[in-house]
């Protein structure tokens, strides 16, 4: 989720998003790694979108912080569209990171998914902006995988976990590190369809879900 700001003079649309991480595995160092990943990947395409017959360049300004003492009420009462709340833990009941829907501002990150270069945070950020997984999950012959392709997607060998393994077998599917934000991903945001109020708009919607540590479920 984010707050969009349109600059007619410079022909830019700046989307401001702030990640607030909490949980036993959330650290300032990891927060900076994830912030940098999201901002870098989403700014890579330098794509343009048309609004009112004018071309604008979307740009993403991402900040992040760690909340040592996060209370559920702090999240429930949030009214700032820039804020995205993610718990980070060593265990997830789903065994994978997830968000609370398409166009949301909350979710749960599994630490093992967040290694440097994983693109997990950038992928989940796409969900918070309203993007779903593509329907076609066999993109062999189509080049670089877009950021919203999930694990298990069939890709050209150089984008697999193991390029020597036949497609579809263990190691023969998309390695998330090879995902990139493409111009098509920027266009899919449909920024021209936002409810602009003057030069401001909101991308995504409030879910404001506080997540408990799944370790308690595991222990039980």
Here the CATH number for the domain that contains residue 60 is 3.40.390
Are both 25 and 108 inside the same structural domain? yes
Are both 28 and 124 inside the same structural domain? yes
What is the rounded distance in angstroms from the CA atom of residue 102 to the CA atom of residue 82? 16
The pLDDT score that the predictor gives to residue 220 is: 47
Q: Is the dihedral of CA 12, 81, 64, 114 positive or negative?
A: negative
Weakly modelled stretches of the chain, pLDDT under 70:
216-220
The pLDDT score that the predictor gives to residue 215 is: 82
The pLDDT score that the predictor gives to residue 72 is: 95
Are both 56 and 156 inside the same structural domain? no
Are both 46 and 124 inside the same structural domain? yes
Total tally of structural domains belonging to the chain = 2
For residue 210, the enclosing domain spans 2-131+189-219
**Contact by Cβ (8 Å): 86, 114:** no
The pLDDT score that the predictor gives to residue 216 is: 66
Are both 103 and 200 inside the same structural domain? yes
Are both 63 and 100 inside the same structural domain? yes
């Amino acid at each position: 989720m984010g707050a969009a700001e349109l600059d007619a003079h410079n022909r830019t649309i700046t989307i401001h998003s702030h990640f607030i991480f909490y949980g036993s595995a959330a650290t300032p160092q990891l927060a900076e790694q994830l912030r940098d990943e999201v901002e870098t990947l989403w700014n890579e395409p330098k794509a343009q979108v048309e609004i009112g017959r004018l071309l604008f360049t979307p740009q993403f300004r991402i900040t992040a912080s760690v909340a040592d003492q996060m209370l559920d009420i702090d999240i429930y009462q949030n009214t700032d569209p820039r804020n995205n709340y993610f718990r980070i833990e060593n265990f997830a009941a789903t065994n994978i990171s997830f968000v609370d829907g398409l166009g949301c501002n909350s979710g749960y990150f599994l630490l093992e998914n967040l290694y440097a270069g994983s693109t997990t945070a950038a992928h989940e950020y796409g969900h918070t902006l309203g993007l779903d997984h593509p329907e076609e999950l066999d993109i062999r012959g189509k080049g670089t995988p877009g950021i919203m392709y999930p694990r298990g997607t069939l890709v050209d060998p150089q984008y697999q976990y193991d390029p020597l393994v036949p497609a579809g077998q263990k190691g023969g599917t998309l390695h998330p590190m090879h995902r990139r934000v493409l111009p098509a991903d920027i266009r899919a945001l449909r920024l021209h369809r936002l409810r602009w109020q003057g030069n401001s708009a909101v991308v995504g919607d409030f879910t404001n879900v506080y997540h408990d540590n799944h370790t308690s479920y595991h222990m039980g």
